[in-house]
Structure 1
Amino acid sequence: MLAYDYFNFLDYQYYDSDFIKVYIAQVIVNIFITFLNEGVYRFERLKATTTETEQLKKEYMHSQLLGLKSQMNPHFLFNGLNTLSSLINEDAEKAEDFLDHMSKVYRYLLRNNEEQLVTLGTELSFMRSYYYLLKARHAEGLHLELDVPAEHYNAMIPPLTLQMILENSLTNNAVGRSNPLFVKISVKKNWIEISNNVQPKINNAEEHSAVIENIRNKFRLLCQQEIAVKETCGERCICLPLIPHNEMAMA
């Protein structure tokens, strides 16, 4: 006699076949619920990933606009051609060097327009050419120091990031022989720092905020890290995390 035979609730009788059917039904329901939960989870992940991808595309389109805005605007082109014209009359060799650096700047803009990341070495090479053009215009009013060991050249960074920061410093600070702007790009551990002396020229906080926010969002999306902006009464320093090359290769 089975133990179930001792119970007679509402004349219910136990059958092994009923138990098996109920057990199978529970297994099927559990499997269905598991697949449903997994499907919902994956759908939410897909939505989040799609949103991040779209946001990243928007940030890069914005950064391209900010970078190209400073390079392709009539003032930059006019100043470059005007400087080149003067050099042709004064020093043909310097004019040739200027034209070479100008070509490198525009070539970099066109080649890396769609890239999410470039090596730090590539970005610094571009910055040297970009600074050469600015130096020809500002002379002793602008000084750029690059203090980056070659061991960090393979680290990754969004293209035009350093250019945007330098251009932003020029826009928001007075630049002249009597009050030169000193900019330094250096590396501390796994961070690259861009610092400059502060000598406000105009109140252009809105554009400054747009540039910094654009860079901040790109690093959030690319490596889930925050940039740091340190400001004192006489200096501003922007710290950017360097993205390891092998980390992006595995992503």
Structure 2
Amino acid sequence: MKLSLNKSYIVFNLIGWLLLFTATLAGPKIFLSEEVLANERVLYYWLETVACAVLAFTLSFIISIFIDDKINFNNNWKRITWKIFIIFSIVQALYTLFIWPILDFVQECTKYESDVVMGLVGKIYNVFYFATLFVIWLFVFLTIKIFHQLKTVQLKKLQLETNLKESQLNTLKGQINPHFMFNSLNNIRGLMLEDVDKARNMLTSLSETLRYSLTKSDVNSISLEDELEMVENYIAISKIQFENRLQFETHIDQESLSKQIPPMIIQMLIENALKHGISNLKNGGIVSLSTTIKGTQLQIEVINSGTLQKSKNSTQLGLKNIKKRLALLYGEAATFNLRENKNQVVATIKIPLI
């Protein structure tokens, strides 16, 4: 919304003009006068103040709309200064043109007869008087205008950053399902000729897993408990392939079950442990999942038998996905670490508790 049409600014502008003219017109004439003033004279001073304030408010409102519509503060400041100077001069002319007929009308309404006749010198002084007040208003308005514009730019920037984050997260989420399906369908294809029943069971588990991933694709966080249900289903699929070569253990802190985590992030850790760890071991190995709460962070740790080794054919899509999603959702408050320790690969995620 433009500043000139902002309700709070309009009220502030009107009250500001009333206070300015009260402090310079009615206030000194009424409260600093040493003589007792007639009622019609007091009434005239107040109406004079209100009339000057309303005229000033009207002119400033029109000018503020013009500045909002026609002046871009991102342009050359020299050109902006000239435009404001021209507007300032026009306002002085308009004020001088309208103020005296208005004050004559006010004087007639109050039946106040002044002993002082306003001459040319007095009217010229009045122009400088109003110019001073208008300079004060212009300074205040431009200050608020620039602050309002900076705030609007910052808000738009935040909205763009938020939209960009959402777009990036949606892209990363879109990588999960194809990546997971590719590996699972390859496993099913290998089972089709060996054991049809196992292949059918694997398809059923895969269907449940995909249903979960699709229903959670439009959210950025789910409870750890919901994620664990999906992990158990994924392990059931994997055990059909690895049989006795895969042992899976869990050590879950019960207090962590209600905590929020990015969907399918544990599944990707497990998948990475199986693909790059257990599958490379002739006798298989152990995959251990543990969750603990440490201070203000939730720690998720997946340990698998094996060693850290980079395959030339590996794109490391899963690990890159995890790092990017954590960075987008939590910034530097979340960490992901992958290390080798005594023939074991340890993947650790730390997420701030929200």
On whether the aligned pair clears a TM of 0.5, the verdict is yes
Letter in 2 for 1:219: L
Letter in 1 for 2:185: L
3-state secondary structure, aligned to 1:207: coil
3-state secondary structure, aligned to 2:218: coil
Letter in 1 for 2:330: C
Partner of 1:114: 218
Query: 1: CA distance between counterparts of 2:210 and 2:248?
Result: 20
Partner of 1:187: 291
Query: 1: CA distance between counterparts of 2:144 and 2:313?
Result: 52
RMSD: 3.2
- Partner of residue 330 from structure 2, selected from 223, 226, 237: 223
Q: Deviation digits for residues 130-162 of structure 1, max 9, x if unmatched?
A: 000101111222222221133222211111111
Contact 1:143 1:183 in 2 (8 A): yes
Q: Percent identity?
A: 17
3-state secondary structure, aligned to 2:301: strand
Alpha carbons of 1:103 and 1:205: their partners in 2 closer, same or farther (altered >3 Å)?
closer
3-state secondary structure, aligned to 2:167: helix
Alpha carbons of 1:227 and 1:102: their partners in 2 closer, same or farther (altered >3 Å)?
same
Offset at residue 120 of structure 1 (A): 0.9
Letter in 2 for 1:150: Q
Is 51-60 or 127-136 further displaced after alignment? Answer: 51-60
Q: Deviation digits for residues 80-103 of structure 1, max 9, x if unmatched?
A: 3664786666xxxx8886565333
Unaligned runs of 5+ in 2: 1-123
Q: Deviation digits for residues 191-217 of structure 1, max 9, x if unmatched?
A: 222222333565248622x43332222
Letter in 1 for 2:208: K
Aligned residues: 225
Contact 1:138 1:176 in 2 (8 A): no
Query: 2: CA distance between counterparts of 1:214 and 1:132?
Result: 24
Query: 2: CA distance between counterparts of 1:145 and 1:48?
Result: 43
Query: 1: CA distance between counterparts of 2:136 and 2:347?
Result: 59
Partner of 1:10: none
Contact 2:338 2:346 in 1 (8 A): yes
Alpha carbons of 1:95 and 1:187: their partners in 2 closer, same or farther (altered >3 Å)?
same
TM-score (norm 2): 0.54
Query: 1: CA distance between counterparts of 2:305 and 2:159?
Result: 40
Partner of 2:138: 28
Contact 2:337 2:348 in 1 (8 A): yes
2:305 corresponds to 1:197:
yes
TM-score (norm 1): 0.73
Contact 1:56 1:218 in 2 (8 A): no
Query: 2: CA distance between counterparts of 1:203 and 1:76?
Result: 20
Partner of 1:6: none
Offset at residue 174 of structure 1 (A): 5.0
- Of structures 1 and 2, the one with the larger relative CO (CA 8 A, separation 6+) is 1
Contact 1:140 1:176 in 2 (8 A): no
Partner of 1:71: 180
Query: 2: CA distance between counterparts of 1:214 and 1:76?
Result: 18
Partner of 1:151: 255
Give the greater-gyration-radius structure (CA): 2
Mapping 1:33-112, distance limit 5 Å? 33-65=143-175, 67-73=176-182, 76-80=184-188, 83=191, 98=202, 100-112=204-216
Q: Deviation digits for residues 94-121 of structure 1, max 9, x if unmatched?
A: 8886565333212112222222221111
Query: 2: CA distance between counterparts of 1:206 and 1:36?
Result: 53
Letter in 1 for 2:258: N
Query: 2: CA distance between counterparts of 1:218 and 1:176?
Result: 28
Unaligned runs of 5+ in 1: 1-13
Alpha carbons of 1:230 and 1:109: their partners in 2 closer, same or farther (altered >3 Å)?
closer
Query: 2: CA distance between counterparts of 1:211 and 1:134?
Result: 17
Contact 1:155 1:243 in 2 (8 A): no
Letter in 1 for 2:148: E
Query: 1: CA distance between counterparts of 2:319 and 2:133?
Result: 60
Is 155-164 or 167-176 further displaced after alignment? Answer: 167-176
